Chain A
Amino acid sequence: MEEEGGGKVRVLIEKATTSTEPEVDPRLLKAIKSVVRRSDSELRLAAHILMDLMKREHSQVRYLTLLIIDELFMRSKLFRTLVVESLDQLLTLSVGFRNNSPLPGPTNVATALRSKAIEFLEKWNASFGIHYRQIRLGFDYLKNTLKYQFPNLQANAARLQQERREREKKSKEILLNKFETLKKNFASMKEEIQSTADEIGECLEIVRAKEELLCPLDDEDMEEFHSYEFRQLRLHSLEEAEKIHENSENKVVFDALRELYKLLVMKHLVAVQEWISVLVRVELTDNRARDSYLKEFIDIRNHIRSVKKKCEESGCAIPNTTNHEEEDFWEEGKIGSIESKSSSIPNNRTEDSVASTSKEVLDRVPECHANERDGNKRLSRKDGATNSDPLRSKLLAEAPEVNWGSYLDNWGSKRDVLANHRGLELESHWGRVDQDAVIPAEKIAELNLQTTLYKEQQVEIQPCRAPLSKGELCQRRDLRTCPFHGPIIPRDDEGKPLNQNPSKDEKTPDLGTDIVEQLAKQAVKNVREKDKELARKREIDKKSLKRAKLAKVREHNEAVLRDAAMASTSRSVDIGEDWVATNGENRSSRNKKKALASMLQKKETPKDRLAQRLLNTRASAATVRQLTLGEDANYREAFPNQW
């Protein structure tokens, strides 16, 4: 019976610890626990087996064993007493603090094992240290002698709690202080508010009285309108009339009213709201005082609101509390509008420049929304206008963008410029000057030639996103092929390729044929591009000379840079990387059959791969051949008379 049970626990533990997962299978763990719980002999056996397993020269096994040990340790007293007996051994095997017995591979698991062991030791010490001197000793030794850093989970939690409590206490104190000051100042505050409200009331009175004085005739007219509609209309108009309009006579009153309104809304109302919130939050031993204050404040607030409403109804004050933000906004808008004005200067010149400059402005001032919208509208209008002419729109689309500058002032003018004519008296100071000297338009155009810097388009290089062994995705950014995971293809959140087949066809070429194919593609593309360039040139030739020049320069630059970019980054490298890519593929498939033993194998590093390429027989033979050739040549040169 016992033999059988013992076998069971052994099998279960063996099974649970021969996995490559970072966790123990919860079902197995549960099974172990239930088996072990039933009898003490099983528990003893389990402790024995677990300690044996800790001695395995494999960190993964030790890690899983440690997890099981922790589970049982937290639960069974007998298990604790058994484990504690050889705690130093357990710590040696899990923390690896002795120089003569370091933790076995794989290294990443060993690191996890060590940190886990330290964490567990801290936990054990916190919960059972009082009963077991050995745990206290081990903890003390690791902490104070070897100076290991413990995660200090409990202490941290306690500290956070303490901090929070202190914060709360402080805020409570502040509230209390506020309440005290409120008690002191309440009467004066109330009075102030009351006086403001009263003043507003008086002002309103005055205004209304004046108004009434102004139109006393209205009542007489009233009888004439009998029908309902008319009356209705009249009521409306009267209401309109009620809204007293500012004029030169009551300007002073209105100003005062506005001032008072502002005071009321900006200061008193805000203050009262604040006090109410303070009163709601404050905690007192005696709540009656607070309640009474609260009541009064609510009354005051209601009063202020009613006064405010009255003010707004009377029309003396514009109910816009958001005035300030708007003002800020408008200021920014102004800047924007100025810019747009400036940008609209070249409006009357060529469309190209307009398009370019306004775009510039948009880029520069994206925050001025109003302007942007304006600009957009204008642009769209322009587009609408030009859409009728397809050629023109095409030209617009490919038109170069030029920077804003003073040279745009005489953009497109084909006039000659008088060289010595600046309208100054000093002109002929150094002798006679040919007043009619002229700089030809072509020369001007040449002088106005602008340099443009090629800006490479910022392309977001996609990360590889292939799944890694630690469960994350590869974050390497390569243009086409990741040296570890092969060609970069679109992948989903888990790193699985989305549409593998088409992308494979395109991007993971076989060694021989595909290079040829690619080269062919490239050649075709190049030819086409050249054709396009020619066509474009012809088109442009028909246009003005300057345009042609500018475009030519730009075109040339572009072509040169494109070639350069092509040579340095894309295909040329890709061809070389094919070998690596295919190799990577193979490796990943190999990785799939993971086992404990495979975890111990050294991972293939770039260095290894390089070594494989450089140190293979063919390469070394070639090098040797080259070297000997060189030596021969040297020898012959040194002793030309020998054969």
Chain B
Amino acid sequence: MWREIGDREAGKLRPNSFSNRIKSNRIQTLQLSNRKDIVSPHRGSVNSLQVDLTEGRYLLSGASDASAAVFDIQRGTDYEGGGVIRKHKCLFMVDKQHEQGHKYAVSSAIWYPVDTGLFVTGSYDHHINVWDTNTTQVVMDFKMPGKVYRTAMSPLATSHMLIAAGTEDVQVRLCDIASGAFAHTLSGHRDGVMTVEWSTSSEWVLVTGGCDGAIRFWDIRRAGCFHVLDQSQSQLGRRPPILKRSATIKGSTAKSLSASQSSFAKARTPQTKLMNAKQSPVGKIPVKGSLKQRLHPGMLSSQDRATAHYGAVTGLKVTEDGMYLLSAGSDSRLRLWDVESGCNTLVNFETVRLQTSKPIQLATSQNLALVFVPCMTAVKAFNMWSGKTSLTFRGHYEHVNCCWFSLQDQELYTGGNDRQILVWSPSRSVSDEDEGPKDEDNWSD
């Protein structure tokens, strides 16, 4: 570490790679945090976790007991064990007792991407509620045709305020907060939609994964879906060689951007940062869409029937640069798709088993090439390109449903059926365990 600092000082190391090295070093030492305890007020399994995108400070959790809670993960509420353990109690919680609360399990709870003044919860009671954080009142309520599995809002959107909702119903609905009505109804899936995800490169592109095993790409400006991923279409390697040039462009822009960003003290989250950097792929997707458009409507029926997984698609995650898509299926497979070509990259992830009955929430950290996947009772971190397991996090006593990686603190949050929200943080290199009773050997004989 000191050598790296020296290198940075001498200018041998660029600031971006310096910070990446430090971060990846810290991530390699991730372990169950003893000093940070999130006191879970939930009495049911935790289904959804998200740290807000603006400050990186407030953790929102949704649980099966129809409750959602918000925690401050930077500042603890009280201390225990002589100041060794910092407890984070929830700042507030909305549950069944709330007159506008949900009746059944909250399957998804997300922050409004622009600020922390609003959050959105989707529930099995067929409702999507939009809450005002400060008053904890429901400001908007959408009635859906079935159980809501997942809701998503675009982190890039500047021209729309749409909540994409995947429900039991075959149609994906887009709920407009501005008008309080359904803006779109996207039909194409042949079964319920387990998971929805907005593209991180274009604010118009939505990706949905259904129980029918299909992953569909939608351009919300046009009718119908423009692409269906097919697991039999595959490419070897990360990317066709043609695109080498654009990658270097991307690298240089990112470099210059992060250099300029370092002067602003973490004003915005990485996701929003990358928005500007990814102009070129954003421009490309509509072109590609229009190419396909010739076949549309209906596309080729064979193409329309393509599946990405055998069984249901339970989890989707677009990488931060928007170029790759990770999908998890009830066939216990994790697949990495190249969004550009729409091909399966054939990375063999060493998953053993995945939960099949519930949607799972994946997390990625792009520049460290890691993907965090809940695998039954453990969470595993895979290398995105090799598929090798790099870390395993065992701590939950029942199945893990969701995880969220906070790049800012290099912390991982996981929630499971055992009602717990666990914090995994880098082990402390500096031994500053002065306070509190010491943990020592105690040989009597």
Contacts and interface: CB of A to CB of B under 8 A. Distances in A.
A137 B85 CA distance: 13
A77 B418 CA distance: 28
Interface string A92-134: 0000000000000000000000000000000000001011111
A130 B80 CA distance: 8
A133 B37 CA distance: 8
Interface string A508-544: 0000000000000000000000000000000000000
B268 to A, nearest CB: 32
B278 interface: no
B84 A86 contact: no
A34 B443 CA distance: 9
A140 B40 CA distance: 11
A74 interface: yes
Given A130-B84, A131-B34, A133-B34, A74 B442 contact: yes
B397 A141 contact: yes
B377 A77 contact: no
A37 B442 CA distance: 10
A313 interface: no
A175 to B, nearest CB: 39
Interface string A66-82: 00000000111110100
A33 interface: yes
B370 to A, nearest CB: 21
B63 to A, nearest CB: 13
A145 interface: yes
Contact of A77 (B394, B396, B441): B441
A163 interface: no
A88 B394 contact: yes
B436 A130 contact: yes
Contact of A137 (B397, B443, B445): B397
Contact of A88 (B377, B419, B443): B377
B84 A133 contact: no
B241 interface: no
Contacts of B441: 75-78
A463 interface: no
A495 interface: no
Contact of A131 (B377, B418, B419, B439): B439
Given A75-B444, A77-B441, A134 B418 contact: no
B32 interface: yes
Given A133-B33, A137-B397, A128 B442 contact: no
Interface in A472-509: none
Contacts of B440: 77
Nearest to A85: B394
Interface string B382-409: 0000000000001111000000000000
A72 B440 CA distance: 13
B443 A77 contact: no
A33 B37 CA distance: 34
Given A30-B445, A80-B439, A138-B397, A130 B81 contact: yes
A134 B32 contact: yes
A132 B35 CA distance: 9
B418 A128 contact: no
B443 A134 contact: no
Bin the interface of chain A by size: 20 to 34
17 contacts: A30-B445, A33-B445, A76-B442, A85-B394, A88-B377, A88-B396, A88-B397, A130-B80, A130-B437, A131-B34, A133-B32, A133-B37, A133-B395, A134-B395, A137-B32, A137-B422, A145-B419
A136 B420 CA distance: 12
Contacts of A133: 32-34, 37, 395, 422
Interface in B316-366: none
- Pairs of residues from A and B, 10 with the lowest C-beta to C-beta distance, nearest first: A130-B81, A131-B439, A133-B34, A141-B397, A133-B32, A77-B441, A75-B443, A75-B442, A76-B441, A37-B443
Nearest to A130: B81
B324 to A, nearest CB: 33
Interface string A406-449: 00000000000000000000000000000000000000000000
Interface of A: 30, 33-34, 37, 74-78, 80, 85-86, 88, 128, 130-134, 136-138, 140-141, 145
B387 to A, nearest CB: 24
B35 to A, nearest CB: 9
Contacts of A134: 32, 395
A133 B420 CA distance: 12
Given A74-B442, A133-B32, A137-B422, 14 more contacts: A37-B443, A75-B443, A75-B444, A76-B441, A77-B440, A86-B394, A88-B397, A130-B81, A130-B82, A130-B437, A133-B34, A134-B395, A136-B37, A138-B397
B34 A145 contact: no
A133 B437 CA distance: 15
A33 B443 CA distance: 9
A88 B420 CA distance: 14
A137 B422 CA distance: 9
A120 B311 CA distance: 44
A76 B80 CA distance: 24
B309 to A, nearest CB: 26
B418 A145 contact: yes
B32 A130 contact: no
A132 B395 CA distance: 11
A137 B420 CA distance: 9
Nearest to A37: B443
Interface in B421-445: 422, 436-437, 439-445
Contacts of A34: 445
Nearest to A36: B443
Nearest to A88: B397
Contacts of B422: 133, 137
Contacts of B81: 130
Nearest to A79: B441
A30 to B, nearest CB: 7
A137 B82 CA distance: 19
Contacts of A78: 441
Nearest to B80: A130
Interface string B80-93: 11101100000000
B422 to A, nearest CB: 7
> Which residue among B37, B80, B445 has the maximum number of chain A CB atoms within 10 Å of its CB?
B445
Contacts of A74: 442
A77 B33 CA distance: 18
Nearest to B394: A88
Contacts of B436: 130
Contacts of A128: 439
Nearest to B82: A130
Contacts of B445: 30, 33-34
Interface string B365-378: 00000000000010
A314 B395 CA distance: 90
A88 B376 CA distance: 13
Contacts of A138: 397
Contacts of A141: 397, 418, 420
A533 B89 CA distance: 92
B86 to A, nearest CB: 12
B377 to A, nearest CB: 7
Contacts of A86: 394
Contacts of B439: 77, 80, 128, 131
A134 B418 CA distance: 14
Contacts of B82: 130
Nearest to B34: A133
B29 to A, nearest CB: 14
Contacts of A85: 394
A75 B394 CA distance: 24
A413 to B, nearest CB: 91
Nearest to A141: B397
Contacts of A136: 37
B397 A76 contact: no
Contacts of A37: 443
A78 B442 CA distance: 11
Nearest to B36: A133
> Which residue among B85, B422, B439 has the maximum number of chain A CB atoms within 10 Å of its CB?
B439
